[in-house]
Chain A
Amino acid sequence: MRPVPTPQQEELRAAVRDLCSREVTVERLLVWEGASDASELALLESIAALGWLGLGVPVAAGGSGACLSDVAILVSECARGLVPRSIIGAVRGATALGVIAPKSSVLASLATGDNRLAMAVDEEEARVASSFSTTVEVEGGVPRVRGAKAYVPDAALSELHLVVARDGQGPVLALTEAGGPGVTIRELRTFGGDRQAHVRYDGAPVVERIEGGPAAFGRLQEVRQALALAEMVGGMDAVLDATVAYVQEREQFGQKIALFQAVRHQIADMGIRVTAARHLAWQAITRIDRRALCGHELASALAYTGRAFRDVCVTGHHLHGGAGFVVENRLRFHSERAQSLAIRYACEAPALEEIAGALLD
C-alpha cells in the first residue's frame, strides 16, 4: 500500500501549482466567469504545450499514454488552483475518449487542443441512461443523432460532442461535430460560472461511432466519475488550506481566531472529512484505473466526497466571515464547484440505492 502520490506525481503536482500561481489570478477568474477570453485560450495553449491535455491519450495518438491516476493528479491540482472548468473539461474529454476509443481518429486533435470534446450525457427529465430518449439511427445510409441533451458542459466552445444515445439494444456513443448540420446549441446561465448549454440534435450526422455499447458507456461513466472525484479532492484541499491559513491571520478580541476552541474544533472536523474523503476518493480512482473496483466503493466514495466537499465549503465560509464572502475571494469559486460537481457526479440518492443494494439484495 502507498496511499500517497509517487515522486513523479508530486513533480507533476508541483508543476501544475506553479503554473496556477502565475496564470490563474482572481482578476482572470472574474473575467472567465463571464466568457472565455484570450487569456483563457492562452492558458489552454500552455497546458496543451506542456502535454497535459494529452496526458492520458495513448502514445500512438500523440499523447503521453499516462495512466488515469496520473491524469487524476493533474485534474485534482488544476481544481485546487481553480483552472477554468472548460480546460479541466478538455482534459476530461481527451482522457475519456482515450480510454474508451484509443484508436479514435480525433484523439490527436484533442491532445493538441486543436479540438475540444464536450460530453453530452444528461437529459432534461432523465437521470439514468435507460431513460434517455436521444437516438442514433441510420437515415439515408448515414447514422444520425436525434434528441436533446441538457446541461452539456462547454457544448458551445467544443468542436466535437460525444453523445450518449440509444439504439434498439442499449446505450451507444457517437461523435458529432458541434458546428455541423442539425446541431442547435442554447447556452445557459448557471450559478457555477461554468458554460453549460442545452443542445438539440436534429439528425446530426455521426462522424464516428464508438464501439463497445453498454460496456463502453459504463467505462465512460467511471472515468468521468474518477476525474470528478479528483476535482472534488483538489477543491476540498484548497478550501481547507485557505481556511487554516485565514484563522491564523484573522484577529478578533485581540487574538487570532485560531485560538478559539470552537474554531479549532471546526478546523479539526474539516480535517477529518478531507482526510477520509481523500482516501476514499483515491482508492476509487486507482481501482478504476486498474479496473479493480469492488462492490459499492465508487458509490461510497462519490457520496462521501460530494457531501464532504460541500460541508467543508460551508465551514470555510463560516470561519472566513465577511472576508470570504466578497466575489473576489477564491473560496466562493470552490463552493460553487462543490455544489455543481456534487449534483452532476455525486448525487446521494443513487449512491445510497447502490450501497443498500450491495448490502441487502
Chain B
Amino acid sequence: MDYELSPREQAWREEVREFIGEHVDEALADETRQRGNEGRGPRAQLFLDALRDRGWWGLAWPEEYGGLGKTALEQWIFIDEIESAGAPMLPLTVTSVAPTIMRIGSQEQKRDWLPKIQAGEIEFALGYSEAEAGTDLASLKTRAELDGDEWVVNGAKMWNTMAHHATHNWLAVRTEPDARKHKGISMMIVPMDAPGVSVQPIWVWPGLRTNALFLDNVRVPRSYLIGERGMGFYYAAMALNFERLSIGSIGMARRHFRALVDEVRRRVVDGRPLREDPWVRERLARLQIEIDAAGMLGLETAWALDQGRVPAAESSMAKIYVSELSQRIADVGCEILGLNGQLHADEARALAGGRMQWLYRLSPMLAFGGGTNEVQRDIIGFMGFGLPRK
C-alpha cells in the first residue's frame, strides 16, 4: 500500500500551485468576496482566460480533442488546489458539457461545438431542473417537437443559473412524449438569443443569482439535438458524472476552515488569545479530523475512476460528507467568531472575510443540490453494498 503521490503527481501539484501563486492576488480575492464569495467578475474572467491560455481547460479532455488527458487523480489535485486557493473554478461548459459532447456527439456536432467551447466563445447554462422536476429530473415537461428541419421548444426551466451570462443553454427536453419517462428526454443546445427565449432573475439566500428560463415556440435547427433522441436523461447523468470530483471536493471547505483558523490565531477575547480557549481548540481539532476524513473519500473516488470503475458509491460518500461537513464548519465558525462573525462580507472588518455566515447560508444547498443526500444514501446502499432496491 502506498498513499504518496507519485513524482509526476507531486510535480503537477507544484505546477498548479505555482500558477495559482502567479495569478491569484488580493484584487481577485476582493472581487470574489464582493460577489458573495464565489461569483464571477472581470478578474475571475481574466483568471479563466489565463487557465485557457495555459491549455488547462482541456485538463480532463482526451488528447485527440487537444486535451491533456490528465488522470482523475491529477484532476482531483487541480480541483483541490484551485478550490482551496479560492480561485474561480473552470466553467461547467468546459468540465461537464464538453466531455459529454465528445462522448455522444456526431462528428459534425463535435466539429461545430468543441472548437468554440475551447476558444471560450460560447458558454452554456445547464437547463435540467424545472419547478416540478428537481430530484426527480426524469419527470421534466419542457418539450420539443420537430417541425420540418427545426425543433420547436416550449416550456420553462427553473434554477438556470448562468442564463444571464451564457450564450447557449444545454437543455433537457422531452422529445418522445409516448416513451417511458426516462426514455423520452433528449439533450439540445438552444442559443440564448433565439426568439422566444426569456430569462427572469431569481435571487437565493447566499446572495447568488439564478434564473427562471422561459421558452415560447423557440425554433432551433434539427442538428442541435446532441447525440441520440430519447437518451437525454442518461446524457444528463453522464454530464453530472463528470462533475463528481468537484462535487465531492473538500477544497472549498478547507479554505473556509483555514480562514477560520487564521482568525482564531489573531483574536483576543476577554483579554485572552482565543486560541487558548479549550472549547475553541476542541472544536477546531474535531473539524480538522473531519476534513482529513472527507478528503480521503474524494481521493478514493479519484483513484477508483483511474482504475476504470464508475465510483458511484464512493462519490456519493464524498458528496454527503463534504456537504454536511460544510454545514458544521459554518456553524462552529459562526459560534467561535461570535458577534464579530455576523458582519456582511463587504464590511471592512468582517472576520474571516464574512465567510462563515456566507457558508452558513450556502451549505444547505450543497446537501439538496447535485443529487439530494437521501438519494445519495440510497446509492451507497445499493451500489456500494448490494442492498436490494425494492
Contacts and interface: CB of A to CB of B under 8 A. Distances in A.
Interface residues of B, number: 49
12 contacts: A122-B339, A188-B344, A191-B342, A253-B135, A314-B327, A314-B364, A322-B134, A322-B368, A326-B202, A327-B205, A335-B205, A343-B338
Nearest to A191: B357
A127 B368 contact: no
Interface in A89-129: 122, 124-128
8 cross-chain pairs, A with B, having the tightest CB-CB distances, nearest first = A317-B364, A189-B344, A349-B279, A252-B136, A131-B270, A262-B374, A191-B357, A151-B339
Given A127-B269, A343-B338, A191 B361 contact: yes
Contacts, number: 120
A361 to B, nearest CB: 15
Nearest to A253: B136
A221 interface: no
A197 B338 CA distance: 15
Interface in A132-149: none
Contact of A325 (B269, B357, B364): B364
Contact of B335 (A126, A128, A335, A342): A342
Interface residues of A, number: 45
Contact of A252 (B134, B339, B347, B357): B134
B15 to A, nearest CB: 38
Nearest to A266: B374
A252 B159 contact: no
A288 interface: no
A317 B327 CA distance: 12
Interface in B226-269: 267-269
Contacts of B335: 342-343, 347-349
A220 interface: no
B104 to A, nearest CB: 26
A190 B270 contact: no
A344 interface: yes
B340 interface: yes
Interface in B262-302: 267-271, 277, 279-280
Contacts of A13: none
A182 B356 CA distance: 34
B346 interface: yes
A332 interface: yes
Interface of A: 122, 124-128, 130-131, 150-151, 188-192, 196, 251-254, 260, 262-263, 310, 314, 317-318, 321-322, 324-327, 332, 335, 339-340, 342-344, 347-349, 352-353
Contacts of B267: 125
B347 A188 contact: yes
B334 to A, nearest CB: 6
Interface string B331-365: 10011011111111011000000100110110111
B310 interface: no
Contacts of B373: 318
B339 A343 contact: yes
Contacts of A253: 135-136, 139
A185 to B, nearest CB: 15
Contacts of A318: 364, 367-368, 372-373
Given A128-B270, A131-B271, A191-B357, A260 B374 contact: yes
Contact of A339 (B134, B342, B369): B342
B279 A352 contact: yes
A343 B331 CA distance: 10
